Chains A and B, each alone.
Chain A
């Protein structure tokens, strides 16, 4: 119960912060002012139409009222309700992010445990060096290199987009094939990057566990390595990883922004970037509301999982 209340408070704090911060950063209609077509009176009437002429606190109250009604407002840039704009892109982002997060985390969990177990071996050193190298490479550049290899040189995958123009989405083989064809590279790049990024957390968490007394005890009992690794190390090491997972979920947004930019993939990640660039406050708020809500919900769920994983933790 306490958890729910803090979640709600966090949510409103984020919404308020974004509302006021975004308004400090510039004028959404700035680019119109130097447009040879736009005269001051046109600018005024556009402002009036979007309620930009009202004082900020009135805009804020209006905004909260709308939020309670479940309305996210109206995008100034796209000239459409924010909800519509987000909804037509959200499926692409979810379809890209959810499987890639799940798979990359499972992979990282598995590989990280293995690496911790074989600490000091040649395999571990090589893998770690390689991962550090790949992690230091700017992700943006990495994605373009992938694109160059697979799309330009090998011609396995297309260069841009989420589907070929003229495909009508539906449950037919042709569309699914086309969709997967476009999907596989951004998906793979995201998994690749997330796995490498997450690997280090898993490894260090596992190494911590390896030093615990109960591992020594287990070894002393003569338990086989496989059992120690699975049931003692991996199970106990999972707690800090789950915590980080909740945080990484929020950080994934930047991965989504870059992936969607390089692969010209329509999605909400790119929308965040563009709404900031365009100073499209309403759209930005809309996306942030949805993101904040989802991050808070994910963290809430993770807390519940936590309680399952570690019986010592209890929330009332």
Chain B
């Protein structure tokens, strides 16, 4: 072994070994493979500086359904998030145990044994057991209409071995199962959903569960009310097994106009907005006292996609020439105003859970150099033969192609125009690119059916690196590979990703795929966007701000608390005060009693346990109309009286 080899080996070892420890990877055990994951402990607040209060979050759109099995839109998933628990969850880019405590694969990777925590209760008091977990997995594996079925298609069946152990049997080994499937699977209560499934069969896909009776979860919040188009209201599950949420109530309101949502945050009516915020409004937001922003990088890769089957995009060299004509830094700095990071030629985003597979070596495979583009185009025979300033095709005919950005995303429209501009500036004659801005739903079928030359698309990567299979494998009839890329080596490697379990090996494969993608350029990744979430930092604290996700997340829900200066409850109870408070609570119980509200139950509970609990509920159910309504009311009445009087006068006839 030569010295060079030894050094190379050492370098590889140095890179691979530390990453093993830091990543939520998999460690070998005798026999099978034991999964390792982080615990929630390091993120959770030990105790709440303030208990009580109401947190209001705004979303730009409402959920389409509360039936999680068919929850298609992001908003449905977000709205159901506080309600349900998962076996494992990806928190800040790492796999984290939630309901599960351990997982182990058999040596042939065809059986996964999952141990779950005991003592978790559904909101209706029944215990969450292995039966519930097995039921949920089985439904997802069996029914093609469930939206997560694709992640569970490799599952043969799941069985509850005992009360706290589940065994999942696979038809074929599936290395992405835990990250893709289990980390996004809400555990649903069998005692609610099994009778529904028996009664309706496939019709369950069209079923809207009754709110709140059939929306029983085990998560930190319970849904109490939903008003279509307006809001969802939750109360804290004070018995939540992981940690009692600090706030008493959560309200998610739907504000369609982002300008209005921002005004609402600035005014303090809404405490955080989880929607699209453009970089232009940031200075204005930050100049508002009490408003802060959380900036995170979304792993969605926005790319300039080529139809790899269409001439001349079927020529690798041509695609490479295009890659040299894109100034990604300029797009990030000028169009995104710095709120983004330049795309990697290897496609895999360097953020979130995908960061562990990201190959930094390919990052600089391309740089903005129009001379290089000109050189390659000259070599390919794309030359300006008639001297009109535009390059012609090798056969001398006029040449141009189209770029399709979606009309709703102004960033992509501008990026497409920029690209067309750069292409026109290629020395020795430009390439004519026509930007066609159309409604996305009109363009989309064209992209899907391979009818357009090039397009600007944002695609989400999966949680597990095996998503590269979906995006770049040449499988027949495949969806996801919109560029229609086909490469035998990538085919082989992406297949291997689905069946290889050893983390070092997977990383090696992923790195190799990224090298090939950088070399063959099926698509040019332009940028990964940085998203902006405004939130109130004057009234609430304890926000959890992950680098790869929004401010509305599970840990925020558990940790967020009202700042002591605005806290509706004053802690430091003494024995004397406790008694007094108890009487206060007592009176509250009498005055507040509204049939069926959970708040009242909480009050009664605090009384029976006789803990020195603050009369938090006393302040919580204050009238929602806090200020202003009197003026408004007077104004409203005056307006109506005037209007009615005018109408009456008008109608009077002699």
Binding site for B on A (CB under 8 A): 25-27, 30-46, 49, 74, 77-80, 84-85, 88-89, 92, 102-103, 106-107, 109-110, 144, 147-148, 151-152, 155-168, 174, 177-178, 180-181, 183-184, 188, 191, 230, 261-267, 270, 277, 279
Residues of A within 8 A of B261 (CB): 160
Cα distance, A80 to B208, chains bound together (Å) = 6
Nearest Cβ on chain B to A152's Cβ, whole angstroms: 6
Cβ–Cβ < 8 Å partners of A33 in chain B: 444, 448, 479
Q: Indicate if the CB atoms of B263 and A147 lie closer than 8 Å.
A: yes
- 14 A-B residue pairs with Cβ-Cβ distance under 8 Å, sorted by A, are A27-B444, A36-B459, A49-B205, A107-B646, A147-B260, A148-B263, A159-B255, A159-B264, A160-B255, A177-B633, A181-B625, A181-B628, A191-B643, A267-B229
A177-B260 contact in complex given A109-B650, A188-B639, C-beta closer than 8 Å: no
Residue pair B647, A106 in contact (C-beta under 8 Å)? yes
In the assembled complex, the CB of A272 is this many whole angstroms from the nearest CB of chain B, namely 13
Task: Say which residue of A36, A144, A167 sits within 8 Å of B624 (CB atoms).
Answer: A167
Given contacts A26-B445, A30-B444, A49-B205, 20 further A-B contacts (CB under 8 A): A30-B445, A36-B459, A37-B147, A38-B147, A41-B144, A41-B149, A41-B153, A42-B149, A45-B144, A109-B650, A155-B628, A165-B227, A181-B625, A183-B636, A261-B256, A264-B229, A266-B227, A266-B228, A267-B229, A277-B441
* CB 8 Å contact bits of B343-364 with A (1 = contact, 0 = none): 0000000000000000000000
A87 to B266, CA, bound (A): 34
CB pair B253–A184 under 8 Å, yes or no, is: no
Q: Mark B140-159, 1 if CB is under 8 A from A, else 0.
A: 00011111111101000000
Tell me if A159 and B263 are in contact (CB < 8 A): yes
| Contact call A184/B636, Cβ cutoff below 8 A | yes
- Option from A181, A262, A279 in Cβ contact (under 8 Å) with B257: A262
The reply to whether A157 and B632 contact each other, CB–CB distance below 8 Å, is yes
Contact B441 A30 (CB under 8 A): yes
**CB distance B65 to A78 under 8 Å?**
yes
Complex CA distance for A147 and B257, rounded to whole angstroms: 12
Q: A107 vs B642: C-alpha distance in the bound complex, in angstroms?
A: 11
Interface SS majority for chain B: mixed
Q: Taking CB as reference atom, which chain A residue is nearest B654?
A: A230
Contact at B230–A266, with CB atoms within 8 Å?
A: yes
Check if A180 sits within 8 Å of B461, measured CB to CB.
Answer: no
Contact A178:B625 (CB < 8 A) given known A37-B150, A44-B144, A49-B205: yes
Q: Quick check: B231 and A161 within 8 Å, CB to CB?
A: yes
B264, A160: Cβ atoms under 8 Å? yes
Chain B, interface residues (CB within 8 Å), range:
35 or more
Chain B, residue nearest A85 (CB): B228
> Is A103 a contact of B643 with CB atoms below 8 Å?
yes
Does A180 lie within 8 Å of B650, measured CB to CB?
no
B612 lies within 8 A of chain A by Cβ: no
* Closest Cβ neighbor of B145 among chain A residues: A45
What residues on B are CB-neighbors of A79 within 8 Å? 64-65, 67, 70, 205-208
In the assembled complex, the CB of B139 is this many whole angstroms from the nearest CB of chain A, namely 13
Q: Is B470 an interface residue (CB 8 A)?
A: yes
Given the complex, which residues of A lie within 8 Å of B251, measured CB to CB? Answer: 165-166
B442 touches A26 (CB 8 A): yes
The docked-state distance in angstroms from the alpha carbon of A92 to that of B647 is 23
State the CA gap A188–B637 with chains docked (Å): 12
B368 → A minimal CB distance (Å): 28
Q: Which of A35, A85, A103, A181 makes the CB contact (< 8 A) with B633?
A: A181
Interface residue from A37, A110, A144, A261 paired with B151 (Cβ < 8 Å): A37
Whether B625 and A159, one on each chain, are in contact in the complex, defined by CB atoms closer than 8 angstroms, is: no
Inside 8 A of A78's CB, which chain B residues have their CB? 64-65, 208
Q: Which one of A30, A36, A264 lies within 8 Å of B230 (CB-CB)?
A: A264
